[in-house]
């Protein structure tokens, strides 16, 4: 065990009968890190979280928490706090008693408990509901109290499984910030689960993208967004255009590819592509610019605008080109407005593109 890590998951595997819920998985978290497990439904996020919490027994592998082997320790010996979606507060206790509960269980003095409960209620801006019962709070307020009850005793690691899943968008966003602030202020290590890519991007130091019971890619939000390693990763985070190409040449830092109509497209070099193989060029809609008549770019496609959709501050246009039937372009609304039927030249820089292999598929 490397003392450097707060949490280390080594080769953990879990199956339920014939279903492999989690393939052999390894993962490390450093102290104070905010790491998010992101992925579609059924990809194994909760299974991994429950193994770390001690709520399921892995078939294989080891879990180390704070330098101690914890694979088969009961949950209460792991110094882990948990917050779930619809986390049930104790209905017969007031809000204050609910938050005080984990501190009482740890035998803290009355004065210390009162002080800590007061502080954490201020942090989640709910001091005025201290004397109420959970049923007298809205869903969002209850969820904030559940967070407060977890943060108040400063567990070594907090695990959260879709804690905002049941809330509406506005409240979700407010609580995302609140969780982030609590995390920064208290410096607690947080392992968070969501299937919402925006939430993961906003909150995380690193994202662990899961797919089919295994880790697809792990990295900072920026790395996953700008340097996805697979088509799945590129597709899952944000919007993307994929253009079918064949790899023509590999230089030191650039890959040159060719579309079926002979257009050359370039991307930064990637170790996984080989000359002569088929691949895809991925470019984000916001990386594509509409070129002025005489303007040039390293990568250019021409086509006809088929649709323009104003979605608030961003306008999305679709362009039919010979190499892609519906290339998505997003621009800030008001800038360089396109109209249906317009002929356009689209360009992007080589460093904003990514070359992806088809993962063995033709
Ligand atoms: N107790 C169980 N018995 C049998 N199969 C299970 C059990 N728990 C999970 N699974 C299966 O294991 C796989 C992974 O489930 P898991 O709950 O980890 O997914 P998830 O990524 O958390 O999905 P969601 O986003 O829907 O919560 C799924 O195929 C699921 O059906
Ligand atoms: Mg789940």
Q: Closest Cα to atom 19, ligand 1: which residue?
A: 42
Ligand 1 atom closest to residue 45's alpha carbon, by position in its atom list? 21
Mutate to test the pocket of ligand 1, among 12, 20, 23, 43 (most ligand atoms within 8 A of CB): 43
SS3 of 167, please? coil
Q: What are residue 334's DSSP bridge partners?
A: none
Helix spans in 131-191 (H): 139-151, 169-186
Whole-number pLDDT of residue 87:
65
- Expressed in angstroms and rounded, the spacing between residue 46 Cα and the centre of ligand 2 is 4
**Residue 176 vs residues 99, 147, 153, 154, 256: alpha-carbon distances, Å:** 20, 11, 20, 19, 41
Joined tokens for residue 52: 């770390």
Whole-number pLDDT of residue 3:
58
Nearest Cα neighbor of 230 from 249, 209, 246, 245 is: 209
Ligand 1 atom closest to residue 195's alpha carbon, by position in its atom list? 25
- Give the N- to C-terminal CA distance of the chain in Å, as an integer: 42
In this structure, are residues 107 and 181 in contact, taking their beta carbons and an 8 Å threshold?
no
Is the minimum distance from the CB of 54 to ligand 1 under 6 angstroms?
no
Is the minimum distance from the CB of 39 to ligand 1 under 6 angstroms?
yes
Whole-number pLDDT of residue 2:
52
Please tell me the total number of residues recorded for the chain in this structure. 362
Ligand 1 atom closest to residue 56's alpha carbon, by position in its atom list? 1
Is the minimum distance from the CB of 51 to ligand 1 under 6 angstroms?
no
The DSSP 8-state label assigned to residue 165 in this structure reads T
> Can you tell me the distance from the alpha carbon of 168 to that of 14, in angstroms, rounded to the nearest whole number?
33
How many CA within 13 A on the CB side of residue 40?
8
Q: Closest Cα to atom 30, ligand 1: which residue?
A: 42
Is the minimum distance from the CB of 208 to ligand 1 under 6 angstroms?
no
Q: What is the mean pLDDT of each run of 10 residues along the chain (362 residues)?
A: 81 96 97 97 95 93 94 89 81 95 92 95 90 92 90 90 86 87 89 95 96 97 96 95 96 95 96 92 97 93 96 94 96 87 97 85 43
Is the minimum distance from the CB of 211 to ligand 1 under 6 angstroms?
no
The DSSP 8-state label assigned to residue 195 in this structure reads S
- Expressed in angstroms and rounded, the spacing between residue 66 Cα and the centre of ligand 1 is 27
Could you count the other beta carbons within 10 Å of the beta carbon of residue 181? 12
Joined tokens for residue 341: 């039927």
Nearest Cα neighbor of 286 from 225, 201, 199 is: 225
- Expressed in angstroms and rounded, the spacing between residue 293 Cα and the centre of ligand 2 is 51
The number of the ligand nearest the C-alpha atom of 23 reads 1
Nearest Cα neighbor of 163 from 151, 172, 154 is: 172
Mutate to test the pocket of ligand 1, among 12, 37, 39, 45 (most ligand atoms within 8 A of CB): 45
Q: Closest Cα to atom 17, ligand 1: which residue?
A: 46
Nearest Cα neighbor of 271 from 360, 209, 358, 356 is: 356
- Expressed in angstroms and rounded, the spacing between residue 47 Cα and the centre of ligand 1 is 6
Whole-number pLDDT of residue 170:
83
- Phi and psi torsions of 305, nearest 5°: -70, 125
Record the pTM.
0.90
> Can you tell me the distance from the alpha carbon of 93 to that of 37, in angstroms, rounded to the nearest whole number?
33
Q: Closest Cα to atom 5, ligand 1: which residue?
A: 16
Whole-number pLDDT of residue 36:
98
- Expressed in angstroms and rounded, the spacing between residue 260 Cα and the centre of ligand 1 is 41
Q: What are residue 161's DSSP bridge partners?
A: 84, 193
> Can you tell me the distance from the alpha carbon of 153 to that of 150, in angstroms, rounded to the nearest whole number?
6
**Residue 226 vs residues 128, 229, 298, 316: alpha-carbon distances, Å:** 44, 10, 18, 20
The residue assigned the tokens 């039919």 is: 320
**Residue 250 vs residues 171, 253, 347, 362: alpha-carbon distances, Å:** 49, 8, 21, 20
The number of the ligand nearest the C-alpha atom of 37 reads 1
């Amino acid at each position: 065990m490397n003392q450097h890590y707060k949490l280390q998951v080594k080769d953990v595997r879990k199956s339920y009968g014939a279903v492999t819920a989690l393939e052999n998985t390894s993962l490390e978290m450093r102290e104070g890190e905010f790491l998010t497990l992101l992925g579609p439904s059924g990809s194994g996020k909760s299974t991994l979280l429950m193994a770390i919490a001690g709520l399921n027994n892995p078939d294989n592998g080891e879990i180390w928490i704070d330098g101690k082997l914890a694979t088969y320790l009961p949950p209460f010996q792991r110094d882990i706090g948990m917050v779930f979606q619809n986390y049930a507060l104790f209905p017969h206790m007031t809000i204050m008693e609910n938050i005080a509960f984990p501190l009482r269980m740890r035998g803290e003095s009355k004065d210390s408990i009162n002080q800590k409960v007061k502080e954490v209620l201020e942090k989640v801006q709910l001091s005025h509901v201290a004397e109420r019962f959970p049923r007298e709070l809205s869903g969002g307020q209850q969820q904030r109290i559940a967070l407060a009850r977890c943060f108040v005793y400063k567990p070594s690691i907090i695990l959260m499984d879709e804690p905002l899943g049941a809330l509406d968008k506005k409240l979700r966003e407010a609580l995302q910030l609140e969780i982030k602030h609590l995390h920064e202020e208290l410096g607690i290590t947080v392992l968070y689960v969501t299937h919402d890519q925006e939430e993961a991007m906003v909150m995380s130091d690193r994202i662990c993208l899961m797919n089919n019971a295994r880790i697809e890619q792990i990295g900072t939000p920026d790395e996953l967004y700008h340097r996805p390693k697979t088509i799945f990763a590129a597709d899952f985070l944000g919007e993307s255009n994929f253009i079918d190409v064949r790899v023509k040449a590999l230089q030191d830092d650039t890959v040159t590819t060719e579309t079926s109509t002979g257009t050359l497209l370039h991307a930064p070099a990637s170790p996984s592509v080989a000359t002569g193989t088929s691949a895809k060029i991925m470019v984000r809609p916001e990386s594509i610019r509409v070129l002025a008549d005489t303007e040039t770019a390293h990568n250019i496609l021409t086509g006809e605008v088929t649709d323009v959709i104003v979605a608030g501050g961003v306008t999305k246009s679709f362009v039919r080109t010979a190499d892609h039937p519906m290339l998505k372009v997003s621009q800030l609304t008001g800038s360089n407005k396109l109209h249906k039927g317009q002929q356009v030249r689209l360009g992007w820089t080589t460093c904003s593109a990514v070359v992806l292999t088809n993962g063995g598929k033709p």
